[in-house]
Structure 1
Amino acid sequence: MNSTFLLMTIVPLIAFAVADAMGGLKTGVMTAVVLSLVLFAANWMMLGFFEPTSLIEPVFFLVLGLASLRLKNSLWFKFQPVVVNGLTAALLAGYQIAGQPLLVKYAPMMDKLMPPENQGVLTDPRILEKLARVSHALIYMLIIHAVWVAWVALKKSNWAWVGVRLAGYPLLILTVIIAMVAG
């Protein structure tokens, strides 16, 4: 896993929990938003180009963080992964229903970005079949994780929320592995 991606996801969440415990909601949300934007900028500088999907997390931190501050309720901020997972699951489901799983649709474009010696791998029919299964399985994983995060956000501490929030990444990897191996 890319260490920058790891930093972009873990640091703002832990900073939120610590800052919220020490200085309250405003301090926690502002710290997480600023850190996520700083890490986004660092990622942009390291890559040398703007990678739009890396902006999803900071934008939702900002929008839902502002809602939390305005309404004086941290739940809006904590529901960021619920919203992102729900939107992503809906997008994947839409493509699935249309008969072209999202990962299959983008495989040819991603294949062109691979080194010349590896090009053609993602357009192999066996790989496309596996990508279709992964795309389908991710819908359920994202929904399950969204429900789990929502429940913990409503019922448990900030630290429990951070733990469940971060558990989504190993779940994502496990879902991909199982979907690739199955069938």
Structure 2
Amino acid sequence: MNKDQNDGDGLLMVRFKVEVYNTGDFKIWKSKAEKLVKTFKGFINITVLNRLKETDYYYIIIRFDCKENANAWLNSNERRNIFNDSHTPWLTEKHEVIQDWNIFWYRIFNGTKRWKQWAVTFIAVYPLTIVIPTLVKTIATVIPLYFFAGIISALLISGFMIYLVMPFVLNLFKKWLHK
């Protein structure tokens, strides 16, 4: 298996805020922190998601070759020293967590009530179950599809659901889902 496609990856997520007046100090600190983590055993890569506005969080995703190496970094003296440096009081609201790869990308519904999940899914699915079969039936009058009409409808509904409709609907109802 390719190292870049390892299902056993250790993903360490770090979320924090930086006081607005200390962004210069943060850039210097971030450079030191990145150099340090890159020397650690099992390090694969690091991704920094910068804040969009001054009140947002920074997110850092540090990828290791396994969960054990991510834990080792999390519990290391090197990490503790860089984050607890007396020159970093401007770094606030810091949270660190190691994510399991299998659930990392599917956390949108975490903490959401089941009936809200059902309602949002229904809103996404219902229009597709009306429009797509009607469209396929119209096409079948021109091109005989025989028993493939059902398969084509299912493929189109699931494709539109996953790639177009559900991302749009989740974004639309994001705040309501987590209330």
The interval holding the TM-score normalised by the smaller chain is under 0.3
Q: TM-score, normalised by structure 1?
A: 0.24
Return the index of the structure with the highest Cα Rg.
Answer: 2
Higher strand share: 2
The one of the two structures with greater contact order (alpha-carbon pairs below 8 A, sep at least 6) is 2
Structure showing the higher helix proportion among its residues? 1
What is the TM-score when the length of structure 2 is the normalising length? Answer: 0.24
